[in-house]
Structure 1
Amino acid sequence: MYFCENFKSMDISTIEKTLLNLSLEERLQVLTQLFPQEKIVFSTSFGQEDQAILYAIASQSLPIQIFTLDTGRQFQESYELMDLTTRKYQITIDTFFPKTESVEKLVKEKGFNSFYSSVENRKECCFIRKMEPLSRALQGAKVWITGLRAEQSENRANMPIVEWDEQRQLFKINPLIDWTFDELNQYLVDHKIPQNPLHKKGFISIGCAPCTRAIAEGEHPRAGRWWWENSQKECGLHA
């Protein structure tokens, strides 16, 4: 059993037992009730999982702040979906960009596509464009909601619905961790939730444009991410 300094009366097992066997809407409602005075944030990359959670937040007008990370290398289709989503649900989504000086230094020293050269270079680029902006986005937050699902990758297979992030000193909640892809897809269809058109072209997991390709039938859902390297297909956000 794990406790955090700021929430000594709230432990992981208690939150997890409270959230299990609830619908997505109920899980999010309960979080706002458990932490009524705390900053709760949801990070979206506008993938299918994130679109489902975003709908559940917006349709209930829950007091959860929504943010996204713009790496500067996104697909045009992703930007179009961002605009469509904010208009459809009449919500505000905070966008965090990488620091200009860090990107300029990286490009000056290693070029625009250094991430193809090695895993270390790729992780450096991910840190500048994702990890550092994420740290700013999570400042002051006590609860971080993500769209992770256990089926997405081996690294996520055993992730629980509730985690304590010791480094960031906050609860990380994965409300879709136990959902199957079929359940997710049905939810998206039932609620007529907008999706990235790239999904229908074989892009299951969509990240930066130069780092994402469509996958073939039978390939792992994350095979299209950083396809040129052998790795866990993670950028570090959810390591």
Structure 2
Amino acid sequence: MKNLHELATRLDSLSASDGLALVADLFPEKVTFSSSLGQEDQVITALIATQSLPIQVFSLDTGRLFPETLELLARTEGRYRLKIQLYYPSTDSVESLVAKNGINGFYESVENRKSCCYVRKVEPLKRALAGKYVWITGLRAEQSANRTEMKRVEWDEANQIIKYNPLLDWTYKQLLDYIQKEKIPYNPLHDKGFISIGCAPCTRAVLPGEDARAGRWWWEESKKECGLHSR
């Protein structure tokens, strides 16, 4: 690829399945996929596994995940016969954070919550992306207002990496239909109104009329992002 624009033009014309195959071919051993085990990510994992693509799949175990999420991770590895590499927060950083803000200090201020997200998510993510050229995500434009401006292929300045969002233009209905058709394993919490699932203390079910991200950090008025996808 000569430049990002050329890559974006090629990927914009391809399906998610073909796009994943293309980046795996163009950047051998330099493509990685971050899965939170959400519905979008489960679809991408299935597309990678069924094509036997040489794309690393990893997840961030924050230490505060729902038991259902961890159980799904095990089921997914068994179903697709792949290894999902786990990245954990630094023990020293977690101990310092809790000593300073308390075990649930993230409820007290946006600053505290972002500090927790940084220690448990952002810093481990940076380790996971180190040395890679392409970062695949399960972001969809329909998920929230601040994701509608995202592009299928972007340059992530914070992590100095190409970000590829193969499902960006998928609708929620399209996502659910594909999961049902392909019998893709998913988190049972989705059937209880949890559309976007993160850490257990920071996630609740979505109420009627709310967008998909409303259940994340519901006590805040700010944009519902943790820092992983800052633009």
TM-score for both structures, normalised by structure 2: 0.97
Tell me the CA shift for residue 167 of structure 1.
3.2
**Partner residue of 1:34 out of 26, 47, 60:** 26
Matched, 1:128 2:116: no
The aligned amino acid for 1:34 is L
Matched, 1:183 2:174: yes
Tell me the CA shift for residue 40 of structure 1.
0.4
- Runs of 5+ consecutive residues of structure 1 not aligned to the other structure: 1-8
Tell me the CA shift for residue 55 of structure 1.
0.2
SS of the counterpart of 1:107?
A: helix
Cα deviations across residues 40-99 of structure 1 (Å, max 9, x unaligned)? 000000000000000000001100001000000000100110000001111011100000
Matched, 1:157 2:115: no
Tell me the CA shift for residue 160 of structure 1.
0.4
Tell me the CA shift for residue 22 of structure 1.
2.1
SS of the counterpart of 2:151?
A: coil
What residue number does 1:5 align with?
A: none
Matched, 1:14 2:6: yes
The aligned amino acid for 2:25 is Q
The aligned amino acid for 1:25 is S
Tell me the CA shift for residue 185 of structure 1.
1.1
User: Hey, what's the Cα distance between the residues in 2 that align with 1:109 and 1:211?
Assistant: 19
Tell me the CA shift for residue 150 of structure 1.
0.2
**Which moved further from structure 2: 202-211 or 158-167?**
158-167
**Which moved further from structure 2: 26-35 or 67-76?**
26-35
User: Hey, what's the Cα distance between the residues in 1 that align with 2:75 and 2:11?
Assistant: 30
The aligned amino acid for 2:159 is R
User: Hey, what's the Cα distance between the residues in 1 that align with 2:2 and 2:164?
Assistant: 14
The aligned amino acid for 1:61 is S
What residue number does 2:214 align with?
A: 223
**Which moved further from structure 2: 81-90 or 179-188?**
179-188
Counting aligned pairs with the same residue, the percent is: 58
User: Hey, what's the Cα distance between the residues in 2 that align with 1:41 and 1:35?
Assistant: 10
TM-score for both structures, normalised by structure 1: 0.94
User: Hey, what's the Cα distance between the residues in 1 that align with 2:123 and 2:25?
Assistant: 30
SS of the counterpart of 1:171?
A: strand
What residue number does 2:131 align with?
A: 140
Q: What does residue range 1-239 of structure 1 map to in structure 2 within 5 Å?
A: 9-36=1-28, 38-239=29-230
User: Hey, what's the Cα distance between the residues in 1 that align with 2:125 and 2:213?
Assistant: 21
Tell me the CA shift for residue 20 of structure 1.
2.0
User: Hey, what's the Cα distance between the residues in 2 that align with 1:91 and 1:191?
Assistant: 17
What residue number does 1:3 align with?
A: none
CA RMSD of aligned residues (A): 1.0
Tell me the CA shift for residue 19 of structure 1.
1.4
Tell me the CA shift for residue 189 of structure 1.
1.1
SS of the counterpart of 1:41?
A: strand
Alpha-carbon spacing, 1:21–1:185, altered in 2? closer, same or farther (3 Å): farther
The aligned amino acid for 1:128 is V
**Which moved further from structure 2: 15-24 or 57-66?**
15-24
